[in-house]
Amino acid sequence: MLTERMRANQALAEASGRPGHYFEVLLAAAYGTLLKGRAGVAMDGGTNAGLHAVGMIKAFGGTQGRVVGFEPQPTLASQARGWARAHGAADRLELHEAALGAAEGRTRFFVNKTDTALSGLRMMKTEEELYDEREVAVVTLDTLAADRLVQFVKLDLEGGEYHALLGAERTIARCRPIVAFENGIAWSANRFGYQPNAVPLFFERQGYEIFDFYGNAVTPDSYEFPGQTFMFFAGPHRDFRLMLVRDMVDEFWAWSDSLDLSSWDRTIDEVIARAEGTPGDNGA
Go through the domains of the chain in sequence order and give each one's CATH number.
11-104+140-275 (3.40.50.150)
Residues facing residue 46 across a β-bridge: none
**In this predicted structure, what is the pLDDT of residue 95?**
98
- Residue pair 233/260 in contact by the 8 Å Cβ criterion: no
Distance CA 44, CA 167 (A): 14
Distance CA 149, CA 131 (A): 37
- Residue pair 242/231 in contact by the 8 Å Cβ criterion: no
Q: What is the mean pLDDT of each run of 10 residues along the chain (284 residues)?
A: 63 58 84 91 96 93 90 95 95 97 94 80 74 93 95 94 97 98 88 91 97 88 69 95 92 77 74 64 40
**In this predicted structure, what is the pLDDT of residue 150?**
98
- Residue pair 154/42 in contact by the 8 Å Cβ criterion: yes
**In this predicted structure, what is the pLDDT of residue 14?**
64
**In this predicted structure, what is the pLDDT of residue 227?**
54
**In this predicted structure, what is the pLDDT of residue 228?**
60
**In this predicted structure, what is the pLDDT of residue 103?**
97
**In this predicted structure, what is the pLDDT of residue 284?**
39
**In this predicted structure, what is the pLDDT of residue 230?**
85
Distance CA 184, CA 60 (A): 29
pTM value is 0.88
**In this predicted structure, what is the pLDDT of residue 223?**
76
3-state SS string over the chain?
CHHHHHHHHHHHHHHHCCCCHHHHHHHHHHHHHHHCCCCCEEEEECCCCCHHHHHHHHHHCCCCCEEEEECCCHHHHHHHHHHHHHCCCHHHEEEECCEECCCCEEEEEEEECCCHHHCECCCCCCCHHHEEEEEEEEECHHHHHCCCCEEEEEECCCCCHHHHHHCCHHHHHHHCCEEEEECCCHHHHHHHCCCCCHHHHHHHHCCEEEEECCCCEECCCCCCCCCCCCEEEEEECCCHHHHHHHHHHHHHHHHHHHCCCCCHHHHHHHHHHHHCCCCCCCCC
Distance CA 209, CA 215 (A): 12
